Amino acid sequence: MSGFEIAGVILGAYPILMSALKGYGELARKVGVWNNIRQEYQKCKNEINAQNVAFIGNLRRLLLTIRVDDVTISCLLADPGGQEWGNADLAQSLEKYLQDSHDVFLHTIEDMNRVMVELKREIVIDAENLRQRVEATRSAELSTRLKEAFRKFGTTRDYQLYRMQFTLGETTRKRLFDEIKSYNDRLRNLLETTSAMSQAQKSRDTARKVREDALVCGLWKRADQLYSVLSEAWNCNCRKHHHAHMMLQDRHRPSPEPHFRLMLWSSSPHLPSDQTPQPLFCRPVRVEISNELNITGTVPITVDATTALRPGTSPAHRTATPLRPSTASSKQQKQFLRARVPLITTTLTENNPNPRTEAHELAQREHQQQVPQISSLCITLRQKPSPPTRCHGYLLDAVGTKRYYLHAIDHAADTENSTPSNSNPSKPTAITLETILRDSKTPLTRLQRFSLAVTVASSFIQFAGTPWLKSRWAKSDVVFFPDPDNPRAPGVLPEQPFVSRDFLIDNSAPQMPAPVSPQIRVADRIIDGLESLGIVLLELCFGKPIEQHSSWPSIAPTGSSLLAALEWLKEVAEEAGPEYADAVAWCLIGGRTISTDRGDGWRAIMSDRVVKPLGQCRSYIAPVR
Q: Mind listing the pLDDT tens digit for each residue in 43-82?
A: 888 989 999 999 999 999 999 988 888 998 999 888 888 8
pLDDT of residue 503: 84
| DSSP string covering 388-447 | TT-EEEEEE-TTS-EEEEEEE--STTSEES---SSS-TTS---EEHHHHHH-TTSPPPHH
Query: Does pLDDT of 267 surpass 90?
Result: no
CATH number of the structural domain spanning residue 456: 1.10.510
CA distance 528 to 472: 6
Is the same domain home to 152 and 245? Answer: no
Closest C-alpha among 528, 532, 534 to residue 585:
534
Q: The pTM is what?
A: 0.64
Rounded CA-CA distance 112/184 in Å is: 8
User: Do 516 and 544 belong together in one domain?
Assistant: yes
Q: At 278, which amino acid appears?
A: Q
Taking the C-alpha atoms of residue 246 and residue 240, their distance in angstroms, rounded to an integer, is: 17
What 3-state class would DSSP assign to 259? coil
Same domain, yes or no: 506 and 527 = yes
pLDDT interval class at 134 (50, 70, 90): low
Rounded to the nearest integer, the mean pLDDT of the chain is 76
Range of the domain at 390: 236-296+370-429
pLDDT of 321: 41
pLDDT tens track for 77-114 = 888 888 888 888 888 888 888 988 889 999 999 999 99
Assign 136 a pLDDT band (cuts: 50, 70, 90).
low
Asked if 499 and 477 count as a contact pair (C-beta separation under 8 A), the reply is yes
Q: How far apart are CA 618 and CA 454, in angstroms?
A: 8
Dihedral sign, Cα of residue 44, residue 48, residue 51, residue 57: negative
Q: Nearest CA to 72 among 94, 58, 57, 87?
A: 87
188 in the same domain as 117: yes
Residue 514: pLDDT above 50? no
Q: What's the pLDDT score for residue 611?
A: 95
Domain final residue pick, 405, 429, 453: 429
Residues paired with residue 287 on neighbouring β-strands, in sequence order: 260, 406
pLDDT at 255 over 70: no
Secondary structure class of 174 (helix, strand, coil): helix
DSSP string, 10-45: HHHHHHHHHHHHHHHHHHHHHHT-HHHHHHHHHHHH
- Euclidean distance between CA atoms 447 and 541, whole angstroms: 10
**Residue 66 included in any domain:** yes
**Is 222 part of any domain?**
no
- At 259, the pLDDT band (50, 70, 90 cuts) reads confident
Residues 391/368, Cβ–Cβ less than 8 Å: no
Q: 538 with 407, same domain? A: no
298, amino acid identity:
T
Q: What tens digit of pLDDT does each residue of 458-488 get?
A: 999 999 989 999 888 999 999 998 876 665 5
Class of residue 1 by CB neighbours under 10 A (exposed 0-12, middle 13-18, buried 19+): middle
Considering the domain architecture, whether residues 579 and 499 belong to the same structural domain is answered as: yes
Say if residue 380 is in the same domain as residue 492.
Answer: no
Residue 9 placed within a domain:
yes
259 shares its domain with 127: no
| Residues 443, 582 within the same domain | yes
**Neighbouring residues of 34: CB distance < 8 A, sequence distance ≥ 6:** 25, 28
- Separation CA 578–CA 582 (nearest Å): 6
Domain co-membership, 425 together with 472: no
Q: Are residues 253 and 291 in the same domain?
A: yes
Q: Which of 490, 520, 234, 514 is nearest to 382 (CA)?
A: 234
Exposed (0-12), middle (13-18) or buried (19+): which is 599, by Cβ within 10 Å?
A: exposed
Q: Is the separation of the CB atoms in 432 and 300 below 8 Å? A: no
pLDDT given at position 283: 86
Does 542 share its domain with 476?
A: yes
Euclidean distance between CA atoms 194 and 96, whole angstroms? 11
Question: Which residues, other chains included, contact 575 with Cβ-Cβ below 8 Å and sequence gap of 6+?
Answer: 541, 542
Q: Predicted confidence band at 353 (pLDDT cuts at 50, 70, 90)? A: very low
pLDDT at residue number 513:
44
Confidence check: pLDDT of 257 > 50: yes
Among 268, 211, 213, 206, smallest CA distance to 243 is for: 268
**489 or 320, higher pLDDT:** 489
**Is residue 507 over pLDDT 50?**
no
| Domain annotation covers residue 360 | no
Give the number of domains in the chain. Answer: 4
Phi and psi dihedrals of 177, rounded to 5? Answer: -65, -35
- Kindly indicate the confidence band of residue 539, based on its pLDDT and cuts at 50, 70 and 90: very high
Q: How much is the pLDDT for 579?
A: 96
What value does the mean pLDDT take over residues 372-385? 87
Long-range contacts of 254-259 (CB under 8 A, 24+ apart): 254/624, 255/208, 255/212, 256/212, 256/215, 256/216, 256/219, 258/215, 258/288, 258/289, 259/286, 259/287, 259/288, 259/289
**Are the beta carbons of 497 and 452 closer than 8 angstroms?**
yes
Backbone angles phi, psi at 330, to 5 degrees: -80, 165
Confidence category of residue 610, pLDDT binned at 50, 70, 90: very high
pLDDT digit string, tens, across residues 142-189:
555 555 555 554 444 444 544 555 665 678 888 888 999 999 999 999
Would residue 396 count as lying in a domain? yes
Give the pLDDT of residue 400.
85
pLDDT for 365: 56
Give the three-class secondary structure for 5.
helix
pLDDT top residue among 597 and 620? 620
Q: What is the pLDDT of residues 545-601, one digit of tens each?
A: 999 998 888 887 776 789 999 999 999 999 999 999 999 999 999 888 876 655 678
In a domain, 548, yes or no: yes
CA distances from 516 to 464, 512, 520, 522 (A): 21, 12, 9, 12
pLDDT at 294 over 70: no
Q: Does residue 335 sit within a domain? A: yes
- Answer yes or no: is 220 within a domain: no
Task: Give the distance from CA 64 to its chain's centroid.
Answer: 24
User: Which of the residue ranges 116-130, 386-400, 440-454 would you say has the lowest mean pLDDT?
Assistant: 116-130
d(CA 546, CA 563): 11
